[in-house]
C-alpha cells in the first residue's frame, strides 16, 4: 500500500508491503526492512536497520500523533483512497480535531484559550509524561473550540485535551 506522509512541512512517499524478513518499507525510494512487534493497544516495537524504536500511535481524526522513543510528532497519513477523495494535494480537511494525551501524565501548561485562532504546528498544550514535558501541537489551522482539562490535572492515556475546529 502506498501513502503520502506529512510531518510538519515535509512530505514523504511511503510504500509498505510484507517482505520475506519483515515489512519492506520504501521511504522516498529508499528501502528498509522493518521488524514490527505489536505491544499493548497501539504501541509497537520496531527494529529498523538494527536500531530499536518504541512507537505509540494515537489517532487525531485523519491525523496521527506518534510518539517515537518519547518524541511527539503530528503525522498526516494520506492513503491512495483519501488522496483521490480530497485531491492530489491531500489538503482541505475540515471538521473538528480532538487533541488527546498519548500516555498518562499531567497537564503542565495550556498555551491557548477558547476562541483563539491557531496555526498548524503551533504549541497548544504541554503534558508531562514519564518525567518529560511534551508540547502538543495543532494538527491544522483552526479555532480552539473547547478545552477539556485544567493545568495540574492528571490525565489518562488517550484522554481528550482540547478540540480545534
The residue out of 61, 93, 125 marking a domain boundary is 93
- Based on the fold, state whether residues 100 and 111 are members of the same structural domain: yes
CA-based nearest residue to 4, from 61, 71, 87: 87
Query: Mean pLDDT throughout 45-68?
Result: 82
Per residue in 27-47, pLDDT tens? 888 888 888 888 877 888 888
Please state, in angstroms and rounded to a whole number, the distance separating the CA atoms of residues 69 and 117: 31
- Based on the fold, state whether residues 29 and 100 are members of the same structural domain: no
Residue 42 makes CB contacts below 8 A (sequence gap 6+) with: 56, 57, 58
Q: Could you tell me the residue range of the domain that residue 46 belongs to?
A: 1-93
59 vs 94, which has greater pLDDT?
59
Per residue in 66-117, pLDDT tens? 888 878 788 877 765 555 555 444 444 455 777 877 778 899 999 999 999 9
pLDDT for 85: 53
For the chain, give percent helix, strand, coil, nearest 5: 5, 60, 35
CATH number of the domain residue 119 falls in: 2.40.50.100
pTM: 0.50
Give the model's confidence band at 160: pLDDT under 50 very low, under 70 low, under 90 confident, else very high: confident
- Based on the fold, state whether residues 124 and 88 are members of the same structural domain: no
Q: What are phi and psi of 86, to 5 degrees?
A: -110, 0
* Domain total in the chain: 2
User: In Å, what is the CA distance from 64 to each residue of 5, 30, 51, 73, 141?
Assistant: 10, 23, 23, 8, 16
- Based on the fold, state whether residues 102 and 83 are members of the same structural domain: no
Pinpoint the alpha helices (H) of the chain: 80-86
Share of the chain above pLDDT 70, in %: 86
Amino acid at each position: 500500500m502506498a501513502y503520502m506522509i506529512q510531518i510538519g512541512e515535509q512530505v514523504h512517499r511511503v510504500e509498505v508491503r510484507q517482505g520475506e524478513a519483515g515489512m519492506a518499507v520504501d521511504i522516498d525510494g529508499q528501502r528498509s526492512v522493518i521488524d514490527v512487534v505489536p505491544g499493548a493497544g497501539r504501541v509497537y516495537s520496531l527494529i529498523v536497520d538494527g536500531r530499536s524504536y518504541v512507537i505509540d500511535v494515537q489517532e487525531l481524526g485523519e491525523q496521527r500523533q506518534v510518539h517515537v522513543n518519547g518524541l511527539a510528532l503530528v503525522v498526516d497519513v494520506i492513503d491512495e483512497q483519501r488522496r483521490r477523495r480530497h485531491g492530489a494535494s491531500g489538503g482541505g480537511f475540515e471538521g473538528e480535531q480532538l487533541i488527546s494525551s498519548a500516555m498518562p501524565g499531567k497537564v503542565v501548561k495550556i498555551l491557548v484559550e477558547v476562541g483563539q485562532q491557531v496555526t498548524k504546528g503551533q504549541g497548544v498544550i504541554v503534558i508531562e509524561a514519564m518525567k518529560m514535558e511534551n508540547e502538543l501541537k495543532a494538527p491544522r489551522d483552526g479555532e480552539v473550540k473547547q478545552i477539556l482539562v485544567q493545568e495540574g490535572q492528571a490525565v489518562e492515556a488517550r484522554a481528550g485535551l482540547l478540540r480545534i475546529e
